[in-house]
Amino acid sequence: MTVFTNYEFFFRFFPIFLVLYYILPRKWQNPLLFVGSIVFYSFGQLRFMPLLLGLTIFNYVLACTQQKRMDNKIFKRRFLTLAVTVDVFALFIFKVLALSIDGSWLPLGISFFIFKMISFQADVYMGKICKKANFFSVAAYFTMFPQLTQGPIMRYDDDVFNHPRKFSLVNLELGLQYFILGMAMKVLLADRIAILWNEIAKIGYESISTSLAWLGAYGYSFELYFDFWGYSLMAAGLGVMLGFPFVENFHHPYASKNIATFYRDWHMTLGSWFRDYIYIPLGGSRVSGIKIFRNLMIVWAITGLWHGGTVNFLIWGLVLGLIIALERFAIGGLLKEVPAIGRFEVLVIIPLTWVIFAITNLGDLGIYFARLFPFFGIGEAANPGDFMKFFGIYWGYFAASVLLLIPGVFALFTKKIKGPLGSIQKLVTLALFLVSLYYVSNGSSNPFLYFSF
C-alpha cells in the first residue's frame, strides 16, 4: 500500500484518512497524521517501523534538549553533532547492508526521512526553529506519508505544522488535479517507456544499433523524469488536499539554459538540502575558486553516493560536478553569448549522463557508450534495423513526453481555467484518471524508481 497507485491506498486508506482528518477536532490533525503515516509505512515494511519510530523520538528529544540551552552554543553543537552522527550512521549502515546483502535491507524512504531529521536539527541549532515544538507536530513532519517514501524533502515550518488546517473544496480539487496528472505521468508514460529500456537490456547492449542506443538513452531520461516528477506531483497533491502548501520539486528542468540550472530545477528540494547543509557549511561560493571547485566536487560525489553505492553513481556525480565547474569557471561567458550551447548540453549531455546513472556494471556501460559512439569500434549491430521497429512502437509516448517538457503545455493541465475550456480540462483529467486506473488494475504499473534510493 506504500505505492500511491495501489487501489488499497487510493480507494480505502486515503479516503478514510481524509474524512477522519477533517471531522475530528483540529487539534488531533497532527497526531492522526503521525499515526496514519506509521500505519501506511507498516503496510510496506513493518519490520523497519521500530527504526522509523526510534529515530523520530531520538531526534525530537535531542532537538528539545538543544532548545532548552539556546544560549550555550557549545552545548548545542555537541547535541547537533550527536544527532547528525547517529542519523548518518543509520543511513550509512543500511545502505551498506543493502549493497552487500540485498536490497531488502534498505528501509523504505530512509534517505528522505533522515534528511528531514538532519535539516530539523540544523535549523534548531541555527535558531530558525525557535519555539519548543510539540511532539506530534515534529513527528508528523518526519513521517507524513505523502513524503515519507520518496520526498519531497519539505522543511519544518512552525506556522505550517503548529496551526490547524481547514478543509477546502478548492484545495481538494487542486490536489486531485495534481495527483491525477502525476499518476498519468507515472502509469501512462514512465511505465510504458520503461518497457523499451528493459527490451534493450534483454537484447544485449553489444547487439543494438547506434540509433537504438540513442533512442534508449532518451527513453530512460523520459522514464526517470516522468516517474519521479509524477511521484512528486502525487505527493504534493496529497499534501494540498491535507491543507499543506504545494511543494514544487521539479520546475521544467529540460527547458533550462544549462546543466547547472537544470539541477536547480530537478529534484529541487534535494538540491536545496545539499546546498544549505553541505555546500554552504563548506564555505559555499564565498571562498577562493579552488575551494569552490572542491566544494562542488564534494557535494556531487556525495550526491552520487547517496543514489547508490556502486561506482557508476560516483562517476555520474563527479562527471556532473566537473561539467558544472566547467560552466562556472571556463565557459560561463560563452554560454551567455551563445545560449544554444547550454540548450545543447541539457538536451544531449544530460541523457548521456543518465546512461551512466542507469547501468551499474562498468563493462556494460562501456559497451553502451561504444554503441552510442560507434567510432570506438565493437563490431556491427546484430540487427541494424532495430531502431525503426522500436520507434514505430514508442513514437507516441516520445511525442507526448516532448510535449510535456514544454512549460506552457504542462500549464494547460494545472492552471485554473474557466468556461468551456475549463470543462474540457476537467474531462481530460477524468479521462487520464480512468485510463491510468485501467493500467493499474491490469498490473501494468511498476514500483517508483526512487524507492531504490
**439 and 344 within one domain:** yes
Has residue 141 been placed in a domain? yes
Are residue 349 and residue 318 in the same domain, yes or no?
yes
> Which amino acid type is present at position 397?
Y
pLDDT in tens, 56-86: 999 999 998 888 777 778 888 899 999 999 9
pLDDT at 115 over 70: yes
**Is residue 250, in this structure, part of any structural domain at all?**
yes
Highest mean pLDDT among 53-57, 99-103, 124-128, 152-156: 53-57
Chosen domain end from 119, 134, 166: 166
Give the catalytic positions in this structure.
307
Kindly indicate the confidence band of residue 397, based on its pLDDT and cuts at 50, 70 and 90: very high
CB 257 within 8 A of CB 342: yes
Q: Which residues contact 62 (CB under 8 A, 6 or more apart)?
A: 79, 82, 83, 121
Q: Indicate whether 208 belongs to any domain.
A: yes
Full-model pTM: 0.93
Q: Is 434 within a domain? A: yes
Domain end (from 120, 149, 166): 166
Does 99 share its domain with 238?
no
**175 and 81 within one domain:** no
Residue 43 has pLDDT above 80, yes or no: yes
pLDDT in tens, 236-261: 999 999 999 999 999 999 999 999 99
Residue 450 binned pLDDT confidence (cut-offs 50, 70, 90): low
CA 95 to chain centre: 18
Classify residue 213 by burial, with Cβ atoms within 10 Å: 0-12, 13-18, 19+. buried
**Domain assignment present for 309:** yes
Structural domain includes residue 7: no
Residues 426, 431, 434, 440: is their CA dihedral positive or negative? negative
Lookup: cell for 269: 528540494
Residue in 236, 216, 235 with CA at minimum distance from that of residue 224: 216
Domains: count for the chain: 2
Non-local (6+) Cβ contacts of 451 within 8 A are 108, 149, 150
Q: Are residues 141 and 216 in the same domain?
A: no
| The last residue of a domain, from among 146, 166, 186 | 166
Q: List the beta strands (DSSP E) in 223-272.
A: none
Domain contains 275: yes
Give the model confidence (pLDDT) of 361-394 as tens digits.
999 999 999 999 987 666 566 677 889 999 999 9
Residue 398 and residue 377 in one domain: yes
Mean pLDDT of 198-204: 93
Q: Are residues 184 and 97 both part of a single domain?
A: no
Rounded percentage of the chain residues whose pLDDT exceeds 90: 71
CA dihedral 124, 38, 181, 342 (to 10 degrees): 40
Contact indicator for 229, 189 with CB cutoff of 8 Å: no
Q: What are phi and psi of 256, to 5 degrees?
A: -70, 160
Average the pLDDT over each of 8-12, 243-247, 250-254, 300-304 and give the range with the smallest value. 8-12
CA of residue 437 relative to chain centroid, distance: 23
Shared domain for 161 and 184, answered yes or no, is no
Q: Does one domain contain both 448 and 324?
A: yes
Look up the domain containing 194 and give its range. Answer: 171-452
> Is there a single domain that holds both residue 27 and residue 145?
yes
Q: Does residue 88 sit in the same domain as residue 25?
A: yes
Percent of the chain at pLDDT > 70 equals: 95
